[in-house]
Structures are given as C-alpha cells and as structure tokens.
C-alpha cells in the first residue's frame, strides 16, 4: 500500500509557525531590554551602532543579490523532461575577475569606516575628562576616582555630558568590561592597561557585566552604572568624600566593634577604621543599592545571610566564613548598612 502523501498545507503551516517563533524572539521587547545594544546612550555607543548598521545594510544587499542570482539560476537552468545534457564549460575569466573586484570594493567600503572608528576610539581623552580606574577582580569590580581620591565597588557613578576615560586593568585573570547601552566591551587583562573613552548622553541607570569567562562566579560579576546630571554627580562626590557615618543605635555600635576585632579589617577598607585592599571598599557601603556585584539588594537581612554563608550566596566567593551567626551577623549587618 502506498503511503499517503502529506498534504502540502501541513509543511506550509509548520514553516509559517517556525518563522513566527523566530520573529517573536526578535520582538520589540528586546529593543527595551536592560542589556540591549541597539539603543545607545553615549557618543561611543552611537558611533558603534552607526558602523554596525552600515555593515548590516551592505550585508543585506549582498544577500539579496547573491540569493536572487541563485534563485534565478535554479529556475533558468532547472532540469526539464526530454532536455539534453547542457554544454559543459569550465571557468569564465570575465565573470571571475568581476566578482573578485566587486567584493574587494565592498570590503574596502566596509573597511574604511571600520578603520576610522578604530582610530577614533584610540584618540587621547579631553583635558577635562573624568578618569576612572577600573579593576576587574574575581568576582567584583573596583572603581577608583583619582581626581577625587576614593574608590567604590560594583556601582559606577559618572556625569552626563562629560567625557569619561576608563582605564582598565586586572589584578588576577582576564575579564571583560561591558556596558551594553553605553557602548564598549573591552578586555581587562593582567599586566596591561586598556582604555575606553565615552560621553554619556543623559542621566539614567544601566546594567554592566563581565563578558569574559573568569571562573565560577563569572555570571555573577555584574555592576550598575548610574549616570547623574552634573549637579547630582558633584553632590554624590561630596557625599563619598565625607568620612563614614558613626552608628547611632546599640546594635550598630556592637557591629562596629565586631568589625574592628575580626578579620574583616584585613581585607576591607573603611576610612578611619581599617585599610585592607583585597576586598570592596565599605566606607559608604550603606549608600549602595545592591551588593555582591549587583547580586542582592542591600538590606540588613541579606547582608546578615551573606556574612553567615558567603559561598552559598555567591558560589566561589573569596570571602571566608568568619563563624558569625545570629546576633553577631545581625549586628555587623546593621553597622555596614548604616555606612551612608
């Protein structure tokens, strides 16, 4: 018995469903996604986007021409009943030279703006540019402001309308500094300093991420970029330059004593209290929205859980378990979250 032929409409419907699924994955929701790269918010991001679209349009044109020629050839020279074998030929000098020259010209058209963009991104920063030294560590980010002589961790604050020069280095392994909406993704390499220079357009908050696999908690090596207006940035700088706040309640005071008497002081900096340089600066820890490299909201409850079991909260975290539990962890959390 001959197998019944599948109706033509069935594969057609399946094909349409597949196309719909593919197109839905590229829907407008991705346009507004936090990690989108197609809505640039800086001069660097816009220049990169313009270059990307130029190459994309050229690629689309090449695709249409090549696929059109392929479809035409398939239809024009398809096998027909009773047709003899066509004349066999080998090579066509004019055609081969023509398409070689055509694609060389296309590569030249793409190459010129690409090379121009490369040189543009390597230009020296402006005299009034804000310098930020970025250190990628396992698994957190340190941002140092040489002009203001202080550091922060995992929250990058920059002003809108002012050029910012990021100097990137890594004390341990290779990382990659990536701010999708602001533009730029550059490797952070040990024993080498790379640089990104850009000017944010307007105030806003944007996510960042390490984009180079660097170990167990690579996926948890995130950061927040807060772009301020000029006035708000100056206010933030003034707050950061102040000494840390003293705890006002008994629980916070107990936490301050615990911090000073424990191994915390060997790794963390709190100006006027300790000067460790191996872990995030905690001088104004309480002013940060998140902690753990943008992994958890900065609440006393979450901080206490982190103190009690850091490797459970963040796999591979280099912070040791100090054995603090119950009232001790709550007191230390109360002290740290009071540092605003």
- Domain residue extents for the chain: 28-74+96-239, 250-337
For the ranges 151-155, 235-239, 323-327, which has the lowest average pLDDT?
Answer: 323-327
What gap in Å lies between CA 39 and CA 215, rounded to an integer?
30
Strand-pair category, 155-159 with 222-228: parallel
When comparing pLDDT for 175 and 249, which is higher?
175
For residue 304, the model assigns a pLDDT of: 93
For residue 21, the model assigns a pLDDT of: 65
pLDDT digits (tens, 9 = 90+) for 201-214: 999 999 999 999 99
For residue 203, the model assigns a pLDDT of: 95
Other C-beta atoms within 10 Å of 41: how many?
Answer: 22
For the ranges 86-95, 221-230, 234-243, which has the lowest average pLDDT?
Answer: 86-95
Residue 29 has pLDDT above 80, yes or no: no
Average pLDDT, integer, range 160-185: 94
Average pLDDT, integer, range 60-64: 91
What does the chain come to in residues? 340
At what angle are helices 327-337 and 250-261 packed, to 10 degrees?
100
pLDDT digits (tens, 9 = 90+) for 295-338: 899 999 999 999 999 998 899 888 888 888 999 999 999 999 99
pLDDT digits (tens, 9 = 90+) for 88-107: 778 888 888 998 998 899 88
What b-and-e string marks burial along 130-142, b requiring 16 or more CB atoms within 10 Å of the CB? bbbbbbbbbbbbb
Strand-pair category, 164-169 with 130-137: parallel
For residue 337, the model assigns a pLDDT of: 93
Of 156, 196, 197, the C-alpha closest to 176 is 196
For residue 183, the model assigns a pLDDT of: 85
Of 88, 45, 35, the C-alpha closest to 207 is 35
Find out whether 117 and 51 touch, Cβ atoms under 8 Å: yes
Q: 268 to each of 103, 143, 238, 243, 278, how far by Cα in Å?
A: 57, 15, 22, 15, 7
Confidence of residue 7 (pLDDT cuts 50, 70, 90): low
CA count, 13 A, side-chain hemisphere, 133: 14
Q: What is the mean pLDDT of the chain?
A: 88
Residue 75 has pLDDT above 50, yes or no: yes
For residue 226, the model assigns a pLDDT of: 96
Confidence of residue 1 (pLDDT cuts 50, 70, 90): very low
Residue 4 has pLDDT above 80, yes or no: no
pTM of the model: 0.82
Beta bridge partners of 227: 158, 204
When comparing pLDDT for 85 and 224, which is higher?
224
Confidence of residue 235 (pLDDT cuts 50, 70, 90): very high
For the ranges 10-14, 67-71, 75-79, 294-298, which has the lowest average pLDDT?
Answer: 10-14
The percentage of the chain sitting over the pLDDT mark of 90, rounded to a whole number, equals 58
Lookup: tokens for 152: 């922060």
Find out whether 269 and 282 touch, Cβ atoms under 8 Å: yes
For residue 264, the model assigns a pLDDT of: 87
**28-74+96-239 and 250-337 share one fold:** yes
Of 197, 183, 187, the C-alpha closest to 121 is 197
When comparing pLDDT for 34 and 43, which is higher?
43
250-337 CATH fold? Immunoglobulin-like (2.60.40)
Of 141, 120, 136, the C-alpha closest to 197 is 120
When comparing pLDDT for 167 and 22, which is higher?
167
92 contact partners, CB below 8 Å, separation of at least 6:
none
For residue 220, the model assigns a pLDDT of: 93
Lookup: tokens for 216: 């167990």
Average pLDDT, integer, range 21-43: 73
Of 108, 94, 162, 142, the C-alpha closest to 269 is 142
Catalogue the long-range contacts made by 285-291 (C-beta closer than 8 Å, 24 or more residues apart).
285/336, 285/337, 285/339, 286/245, 286/336, 286/337, 286/338, 286/339, 286/340, 287/239, 287/240, 287/339, 287/340, 288/152, 288/153, 288/154, 288/155, 289/155, 289/224, 290/154, 290/155, 290/224, 291/154
CATH number for the domain whose boundaries are 28-74+96-239: 2.60.40.420
For residue 11, the model assigns a pLDDT of: 65
């Amino acid at each position: 018995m001959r197998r019944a032929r599948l109706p033509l409409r069935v594969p057609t419907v399946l094909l349409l469903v597949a196309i719909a699924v593919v197109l839905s994955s590229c829907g407008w929701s991705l346009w507004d996604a936090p990690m989108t790269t197609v809505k640039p918010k800086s001069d660097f991001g816009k220049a990169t986007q313009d270059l990307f679209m130029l190459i994309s349009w050229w690629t689309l044109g090449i695709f249409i021409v090549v696929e059109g020629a392929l479809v035409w050839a398939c239809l024009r020279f398809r096998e027909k009943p009773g047709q003899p074998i066509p004349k066999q030929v080998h090579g066509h000098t004019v055609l081969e030279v023509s398409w070689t020259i055509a694609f060389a010209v296309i590569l030249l058209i793409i190459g010129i703006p690409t090379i121009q963009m490369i040189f543009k991104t390597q230009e020296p920063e402006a005299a009034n540019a804000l310098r930020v030294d970025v250190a990628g560590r396992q698994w957190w980010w340190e941002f140092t402001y040489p002009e203001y002589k202080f550091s922060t961790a995992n929250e990058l604050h920059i002003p809108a309308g002012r050029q910012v020069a990021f100097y990137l280095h890594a004390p341990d392994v290779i990382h990659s500094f990536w701010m999708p909406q602001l533009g730029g993704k550059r490797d952070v390499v040990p024993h080498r300093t790379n640089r990104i220079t850009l000017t944010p357009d307007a105030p806003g908050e944007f996510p960042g991420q390490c984009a180079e696999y660097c170990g167990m908690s690579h996926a948890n090596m995130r950061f927040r970029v807060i772009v301020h207006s000029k006035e708000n940035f100056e206010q933030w700088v003034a707050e950061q330059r102040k000494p840390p706040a003293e705890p006002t309640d008994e629980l916070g005071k107990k936490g301050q004593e615990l911090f000073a008497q424990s191994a915390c002081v060997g790794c963390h900096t709190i100006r006027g209290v300790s000067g460790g340089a191996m872990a995030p600066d905690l001088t104004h820890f309480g002013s940060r929205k998140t902690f753990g490299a943008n992994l958890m909201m900065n609440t006393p409850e979450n901080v206490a859980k982190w103190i009690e079991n850091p490797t459970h909260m963040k796999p591979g975290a280099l912070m040791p378990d100090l054995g603090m539990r119950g009232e001790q962890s709550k007191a230390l959390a109360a002290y740290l979250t009071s540092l605003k």
